[in-house]
Amino acid sequence: MSDPERRYVLWNTAGETLVFDRRINCPADVGDEDLPEVLRRMREAGVPETDVYPGRPCA
């Protein structure tokens, strides 16, 4: 990642886009009905987006 200070990253998996919380190292809980608006706002704000797993290795 080019900006490791960002807490949230948009993670493009094989079948969907998730909001990934890098502090807790897992996808954030965003309701299906709210996800399109959340993604739109995050993209508008310039949140990084990646196809590569953005978290730390799991123990």
Report pLDDT for 4: 56
Comparing CA positions, the residue from 57, 56, 58, 59 lying closest to residue 4 is 56
Residue pLDDT tens, the chain, 59 long: 445 578 999 999 998 999 999 999 999 999 999 999 999 999 999 999 999 999 998 87
CB 22 within 8 A of CB 30: no
Comparing CA positions, the residue from 2, 8, 5, 4 lying closest to residue 45 is 8
Report pLDDT for 3: 58
Distance (Å, whole) CA 42 – CA 26: 17
> Which residue has tokens 């949230």?
8
CB neighbourhood size of 30 (10 A): 15
